Structure 1
Amino acid sequence: MDFNIISPMQVTDVELVASNIAENDHPDWGAGTTYAAGDKVISTASHRIYESMQDGNQGNDPVADDGTWWLDLRATNRWSAFDNRRSNKARRADQITYSIVPTQDCDAISLFGLTAGSVRIEVWDGAVRIYDQTFVMADTGHVVSVYTYFFGGIVYARQKVLNGFPGYIGHRIDITISAIGATAEVGHIVLGRNHLLGTVLNLPRIDFVSHSRKGYDDFGEEILVKRGSTRKVEVSLAVPTIQAPRVMDIIDEVDGLATAFYASGNGPNFGVEGLGFVDDHGQPLDVAGESVFPLILKTLK
């Protein structure tokens, strides 16, 4: 199987042209309004939610505040799909829609933290729809016996990766996340340019990293605090040595960015995919022709 990484495009007010999620989580901050401790506001400039730290809070712009007057809580619901976090999800009853006009060529899209029965991707060149695919999110990988086929219930995939669609500059990409009769959710959306780095060699390693904590009360009873988990993915890639500079340039391009990575090919990807960042990358070079590059990535919560 091949290992791919998506160089992400930043999504701002320029790229995000429409959504059916209204940005009305809380009242918009007003310079003339006096806020009490605990009051919450949003800023449509930063697309974030803030909580007042003190009474008598007036005239203090939360976007410019240093934490004295305002606590930055999280992205607004509309923009939670682009805040580099999988756990802070955009939510809406039945369906979520986003319309994005890329400012750079992007031929790949990856959606994480999904609660959806289906995902539809459309690409428009002006008034002409040039791409239209709907993906049913039922995950058949949980069917391991006749019993689970009939009685195991329906399990839905939590993420979807797609590449090869014509997301050129100026085209409009419409994303529809549907969970009719329930609450549609998406944790993070990555759009960008897909890069094939190399071939995954045998024995890739995926580690479960728990961030939960265990403590004890005064009587010695355990206190469990659930804090979620992430994964550490280690792969070794076979890459023609002549392509070593290309691979290192791609790694440098995505360094410090929340990006998508995944394995592709005819067979299963064995869970080698996620939303995360490059933690370490070595390049021992075999000048004879093909080198083996170890790569470590960590997923984001």
Structure 2
Amino acid sequence: MSLKITAPVSLGAHNLVGTDVPEVDYAVWASAATYALGDRCIKDNAIWECAQDGNLNHSPSADDTDWWLFVSATNRWKAFDLDQFDWTEKATSFYYEFTPGIVTAAHLVGLRDASSVRIRLTDPVAGLVFDSLNQPVGRLMTEVGWWAWGHGTRRMVDQVHMYNLPAYSAATLRIDLAGGANLGVQSVVAGTVKAFGRGVHQGARLGIDSYSKTGRDKWGTAKLKKGAYSKRVNFTVTIHANELDELTDFLVESDARVQIWNVSDRWRSTKLLGFTKSWEQTISSYAYTDVSFELEGVAANG
């Protein structure tokens, strides 16, 4: 298959229509309040921690170097902060609605305790133009029958990738999730898709970089502390010669930008929320060029 790359559009407070995920992690920053070392507050959809005592009338977003430390996005916005991989959480169900402009793909990555996902696009003139209906996720049966229900194998579905959304510039994108008490999602991405190449070569290499701490004490006993990790994908794709300049321009423009990379539809592991570490083109013939990629994923909690 062709290499598919989803370039995300911004999903944030500026185009939010509605959500039932509250933003109550901490109190909102107040200019009249005096904050002590370690106190936390919310400002501009982010959580900030006070860096020193006697903090009065220093805005976190303006005076973050000396007075405040950025902690993370708020729970409502964690799934849309593509630089950090953490869960937006709300028990049993939650939804978001945005007016993102034209999007042709939607992705939910890192689903936890989820049972279904539904994605809809509604245009103010044409009405409902896309409805995925409730897509089952979680640990799903691979066979049908009572024996399979009790003893059969199950496959994990912890991500959803929807392509070929119709391009409506004024449509509202609605995302609904349902599940259990620990329902959460790590990343929600919507954007436009670029497809390149005749196909990805066999021999793609997958792996992780682990940030866990491992070692041994003086008696040789293993000391292990689980930490975050990031995925790696290395592969080569053959593109048509007339795609070379277009792909080069696209990669230069999207340098240091997190995107959804789909190397193969067959596996979850070949879909990556990440960025290019390096890439190299080899003009192998008049008609074709081979492009080698080294991708790194956003760090995820272990």
Please, what TM-score do these two structures have when normalized by structure 2?
Answer: 0.89
| Alignment match, 1:123 | 121
RMSD, aligned CA: 2.3
Give the Cα separation in 1 of the matches to 2:279 and 2:216: 39
Contact 2:141 2:149 in 1 (8 A): no
Q: Aligned residues, how many?
A: 293
Q: Contact conserved, 1:123 with 1:167, CA < 8 A, in 2?
A: no
- Whichever residue aligns with residue 285 of structure 1, its letter is I
Q: What is the distance in 1 between the residues matched to 2:258 and 2:6?
A: 10
Query: Which residue identity does 1:187 align to in structure 2?
Result: Q
**Is the aligned partner of 1:136 residue 2:136?**
yes
Question: Could you tell me how far 1:149 is from its partner in structure 2?
Answer: 6.3
Q: Supply the AA of the counterpart residue of 2:124.
A: G
Indicate if the aligned counterparts of 1:102 and 1:167 stay in contact, CA closer than 8 A: no
Q: Could you tell me which residue of structure 1 aligns to residue 294 of structure 2?
A: 296
Question: Residue 234 of structure 1 aligns with which residue?
Answer: 234
Residues 1:108 and 2:105 aligned together: yes
SS of 1:256 mapped into structure 2: coil
**Residue in 1 aligned with 2:2?**
2
Q: Write out aligned runs for 1:268-279 (5 A).
A: 268-269=266-267, 271-279=269-277
Give 1:10-21 correspondences, 5 Å limit.
10-21=10-21
Residue type of the alignment partner of 1:188: S
Report the Cα distance in structure 2 between the residues aligned to 1:32 and 1:233, rounded to whole angstroms. Answer: 50
Q: Which residue in the other structure is 1:99 paired with?
A: 97
Paired with 1:229 and 1:239, the residues of 2 have a C-alpha distance of: 31
Distance 1:258 1:34, change over 3 A: same
Q: TM-score, normalised by structure 1?
A: 0.89
Contact 1:26 1:40 in 2 (8 A): yes
Asked whether the equivalents of residues 121 and 175 of structure 1 are also in contact (C-alpha less than 8 Å), the reply is: yes
Q: Which residue of 2 aligns with 1:196?
A: 195
Q: Aligned ranges for residues 1-301 of structure 1 at < 5 Å?
A: 1-43=1-43, 45=44, 47-85=45-83, 87-103=85-101, 105-115=102-112, 116-126=114-124, 128-133=127-132, 134-140=134-140, 150-151=150-151, 156-179=156-179, 181-198=180-197, 199-217=199-217, 221-264=221-264, 268-269=266-267, 271-301=269-299
CA drift at 1:193: 0.7
Note closer, same or farther for the CA distance 1:120–1:168 as it changes in structure 2 (3 Å cut): same
Once the two structures are TM-superposed, the CA of residue 147 in structure 1 deviates from its matched residue by 8.1
Deviation of 1:246 (Å): 1.4
Note if contact 1:212-1:226 (Cα within 8 Å) is conserved in structure 2.
yes
- Between the aligned partners of 2:192 and 2:23, the Cα distance in structure 1 is 29
**Offset at 1:61?**
0.8
SS at match of 1:24: coil
Contact 1:167 1:173 in 2 (8 A): no
Q: How far did residue 191 of structure 1 move?
A: 1.0
- Relative to structure 1, the CA distance from residue 147 to residue 202 in structure 2 (aligned partners, 3 Å threshold; closer, same or farther) is farther
- Alpha-carbon distance in 2 for matches of 1:97, 1:270: 24
Matched-pair contact (CA < 8 Å) for 1:8–1:254: no
Deviates more, 1:235-244 or 1:251-260: 251-260
Indicate the SS of the match to 1:79: helix
- For 2:148 and 2:206, the matched residues in 1 are separated by 26
Q: Which runs of 5+ in 1 are unaligned?
A: none
Uncovered stretches (5+) of structure 2, i.e. residues with no partner:
none
Identity among equivalent pairs (%): 27
Deviations 1:101-142 (A, max 9, x none): 013x21011111112111100111127222111211145597
Q: Offset of 1:244 from its aligned partner?
A: 0.6
